[in-house]
C-alpha cells in the first residue's frame, strides 16, 4: 500500500530535498507533491485525498498554523500534519498541536529522520482512524441495542456482580418509574422491598453458579401494586464488558393470570353443572325405568310385558353411562371396561335364566367418546340380553365369551356362546324385531360392520368392528334415527 504526501515549503530547494529523502527511503511513499504558495496549497487539498502533510513552520506569505487551519476546513478526514522548522518555541508548538500538528522535526534532522517520522505519523493516523471507526460502530450498535430493547414489551435490565444496574430498557424504567440516570450504577434496594431483594439475589446467584437460564413465575409489589411476572435470569460471564452479571427479562403476565383464574373458575362451574346434568339425566332415566317396571306389573299381556322389560333394560344401559360420567373427571370419555362390567352385572341380575351360565370376558383398558360409547353399549346390551333369554333354552349349562379390544384405533367387540344358535329366518339386512333393527341402526351410527356366524345347536358368534373417533354432537341423535321404527 502506497501513501500520498503533500509538502508545503516556499523554499523550493528544501522542498525537493524532503521529497528525495522520502523517495530514497524503503517506506511505501507513492505520490509526493510539492506546493509553495497558499493558492496552490488550497487547490491541492481539494484535488485529492492526502495521507500526510509536511509543512515548513515559517512561510513567507502565511504560517504552518494557518496551513493546518486551512487543512482542517477543507479535508473531510483528519489528515496528520508534520511541522519542519529550524527552531520552534514552546508556545508556538502548543498552539500547533492544539490545531492538529502530530509531530515536529528540525530541518537539520530531515535527511535521517523524515521518512521514519512521516511513516509513524501515517501509521498513527491509520490506527486512530480505525479506533474512531470502531468506536463509532460500537456506539451505533449500542444505540441499535437500546432501540431494540426499548421496543420490547418486556422489562429488561442487566446487573453487575455487585448488584448495580448496568443496562435498563424503556419498559423497565416505566415499570418502576425511574429515570436511567437514577438506575445505572445504583442498586434495586432504593425502590424494591428488602424481602424481594433477597429472593432476586438468590435467583441471580443460582443462574450465575449453574451457568444456565433460570425461568420462574413470581409476584412483586412495585409502587404499592402487586404484579405477576414471568421472569428469565440469563447469566453473563466475561462478556458485554462484564466479568460477571445477570440479564433479567420481566414479562408482565398479571392480566393473563387474572384471565386464567377467571377461566379456571368458569370451567369449574361448568364441570359442576355438567356433573349435575348427568346426575339428573341418570335419575330421570331411573324414574322412567321404574315407571315401565310398574306398568309391567300391571300388564298381563306377555308381549307387552316383554317389550316393557326390553325397553327398561335399554334405558338402564344408558343410565349406567350417565352415572359413570357423573363420577368421572372427563365428561366426554367413557372407560369402556368399567362400563361393560357394570352392564354385565345389570343383565345377569335382571334376567334369571333357567340354567347355569359361565361368562368370561377379556376387555382392554380403553375409553371411548361418549357418542361412540352409548351405541356400542346398547348393541352389547341387545346381543347379551338375547343370549341370556334365548341361547340356552332347554339346557342346564351355557358358556358366553366376551372380548373387547383396540388395535391401531380399531375397536373389535366379539360375543360368542355355545347355545342353540339363531333361528333359520334371522337376518340383519331384513330385521323382524325391534332389537335387530336397533342393532342395525346403532352399527350405522358407529360407521361400523357387524357380522355373525351361527350353526344350529353349536352356538352363535357376533363380531362388531368400528374405528375409534372423537365424534362430535349429541349422543341422543339416535332418537332421530329410530323415530321411524
**Is it the case that residue 330 has pLDDT exceeding 80?**
no
**Which has more pLDDT, 268 or 6?**
6
How many angstroms separate the CA atoms of 148 and 176, rounded? Answer: 20
Segment 166-193 mean pLDDT: 79
User: pLDDT > 90: what percent of the chain?
Assistant: 20
Segment 228-232 mean pLDDT: 88
CATH topology for the 351-485 domain: Heat Shock Protein 90 (3.30.565)
**Is it the case that residue 478 has pLDDT exceeding 70?**
no
> Mean pLDDT score of the chain, rounded to an integer?
82
Q: Please state, as a whole number, how many other Cβ atoms lie within 10 Å of the Cβ of residue 378.
A: 22
CA angle 324–327–330, rounded 5-degree value: 85
**pTM for this one?**
0.45
Q: pLDDT tier at 190 (50, 70, 90 boundaries)?
A: low
**Is it the case that residue 16 has pLDDT exceeding 90?**
yes
**Is it the case that residue 54 has pLDDT exceeding 90?**
yes
Report pLDDT for 321: 64
Report pLDDT for 127: 92
Residue linked to cell 523517495: 23
Report pLDDT for 32: 92
Second CATH level (architecture) for the domain 152-252: 2-Layer Sandwich (3.30)
**Which has more pLDDT, 457 or 439?**
439
459 φ/ψ sector (left φ>0, alpha ψ -120 to 50, else beta): left
Report pLDDT for 306: 66
Report pLDDT for 195: 66
Which candidate, 84, 244, 222, 224, places its Cα nearest to that of 163? 244
Which range of 274-288, 315-329, 360-374 scores highest in mean pLDDT? It is 360-374
End-to-end CA distance of the chain: 102
Report pLDDT for 282: 63
**Which has more pLDDT, 155 or 244?**
155
Segment 457-474 mean pLDDT: 81
Segment 120-135 mean pLDDT: 90
Dump pLDDT digits (tens) for 380-402.
Answer: 888 888 888 888 888 888 999 99
**Which has more pLDDT, 49 or 303?**
49
Q: Which of 110-119, 159-168, 238-247, 326-335 has the lowest mean pLDDT?
A: 326-335
User: pLDDT > 70: what percent of the chain?
Assistant: 83
Dump pLDDT digits (tens) for 262-319.
Answer: 888 777 776 677 667 656 766 776 777 677 667 667 666 766 666 666 676 667 666 7
Dump pLDDT digits (tens) for 193-227.
Answer: 666 667 777 888 888 888 888 898 888 776 677 88
**Is it the case that residue 28 has pLDDT exceeding 60?**
yes
Could you write out the DSSP letters of every residue in 348-366? HHH---SSEEEEEEEE-S-
**Is it the case that residue 85 has pLDDT exceeding 80?**
yes
Report pLDDT for 481: 46
Which superfamily is assigned to 3-145 in CATH? Response regulator (3.40.50.2300)
Report pLDDT for 480: 47
The grid coordinates of residue 113 equal 529522520
Strand duo 52-56 + 3-8: pairing? parallel
Strand duo 81-85 + 460-467: pairing? unpaired
Amino acid at each position: 500500500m502506497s501513501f500520498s504526501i503533500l509538502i508545503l515549503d516556499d523554499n523550493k530547494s528544501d522542498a525537493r530535498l524532503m521529497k528525495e529523502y522520502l523517495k530514497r527511503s524503503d517506506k511505501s511513499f507513492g505520490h509526493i507533491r510539492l506546493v509553495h504558495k497558499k493558492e496552490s496549497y488550497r487547490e491541492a487539498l481539494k484535488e485529492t485525498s492526502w495521507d500526510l502533510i509536511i509543512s515548513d513552520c515559517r512561510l513567507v506569505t502565511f504560517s504552518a498554523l494557518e496551513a493546518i487551519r486551512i487543512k482542517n476546513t477543507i479535508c473531510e478526514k483528519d489528515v496528520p500534519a508534520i511541522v519542519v522548522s529550524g527552531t520552534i518555541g514552546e508556545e508556538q508548538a502548543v498552539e500547533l498541536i492544539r490545531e492538529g500538528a502530530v509531530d515536529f522535526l528540525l530541518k537539520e534532522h530531515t535527511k535521517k529522520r523524515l521518512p521514519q517520522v512521516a511513516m509513524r505519523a501515517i501509521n498513527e493516523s491509520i490506527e486512530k482512524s480505525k479506533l474512531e471507526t470502531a468506536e463509532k460502530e460500537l456506539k451505533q450498535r449500542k444505540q441499535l441495542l437500546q432501540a431494540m430493547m426499548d421496543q420490547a414489551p418486556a422489562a429488561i435490565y442487566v446487573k453487575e456482580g455487585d448488584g448495580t444496574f448496568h443496562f435498563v430498557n424503556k419498559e423497565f424504567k416505566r415499570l418502576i418509574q425511574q429515570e436511567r440516570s437514577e438506575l445505572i450504577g445504583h442498586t434495586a434496594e432504593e425502590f424494591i422491598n428488602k424481602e424481594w431483594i433477597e429472593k432476586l439475589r438468590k435467583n441471580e446467584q443460582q443462574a450465575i453458579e449453574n451457568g444456565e437460564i433460570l425461568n420462574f413465575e413470581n409476584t412483586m409489589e412495585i409502587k404499592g401494586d402487586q404484579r405477576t411476572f414471568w421472569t428469565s435470569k440469563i447469566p453473563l460471564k466475561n462478556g458485554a464488558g462484564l466479568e460477571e452479571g445477570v440479564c433479567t427479562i420481566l414479562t408482565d403476565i398479571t392480566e393473563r393470570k387474572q384471565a386464567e383464574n377467571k377461566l379456571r373458575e368458569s370451567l369449574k362451574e361448568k364441570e359442576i353443572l355438567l356433573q349435575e346434568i348427568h346426575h339428573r339425566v341418570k335419575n330421570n332415566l331411573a324414574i322412567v325405568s321404574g315407571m315401565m317396571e310398574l306398568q309391567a306389573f300391571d300388564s298381563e299381556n306377555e308381549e307387552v310385558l316383554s317389550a316393557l322389560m326390553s325397553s327398561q333394560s335399554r334405558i338402564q344401559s344408558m343410565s349406567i353411562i350417565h352415572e359413570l360420567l357423573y363420577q368421572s373427571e372427563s365428561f366426554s370419555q367413557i372407560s369402556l371396561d368399567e362400563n361393560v362390567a357394570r352392564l354385565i352385572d345389570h343383565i345377569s341380575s335382571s334376567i334369571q335364566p333357567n340354567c347355569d351360565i359361565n361368562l368370561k370376558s377379556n376387555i382392554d383398558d380403553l375409553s371411548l367418546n361418549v357418542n361412540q360409547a352409548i351405541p356400542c353399549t346398547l348393541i352389547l346390551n341387545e346381543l347379551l340380553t338375547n343370549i341370556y333369554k334365548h341361547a340356552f333354552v332347554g339346557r342346564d349349562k351355557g358358556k358366553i365369551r366376551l372380548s373387547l379390544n383396540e388395535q391401531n384405533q380399531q375397536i373389535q367387540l366379539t360375543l360368542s356362546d355355545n347355545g342353540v344358535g339363531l333361528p333359520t329366518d334371522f337376518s340383519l339386512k331384513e330385521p323382524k324385531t325391534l332389537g335387530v333393527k336397533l342393532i342395525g341402526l346403532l352399527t350405522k351410527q358407529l360407521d361400523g360392520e357387524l357380522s355373525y356366524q351361527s350353526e344350529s345347536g353349536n352356538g352363535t358368534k357376533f363380531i362388531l368392528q368400528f374405528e375409534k373417533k372423537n365424534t362430535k354432537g349429541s349422543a341422543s341423535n339416535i332418537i332421530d334415527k329410530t323415530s321411524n321404527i
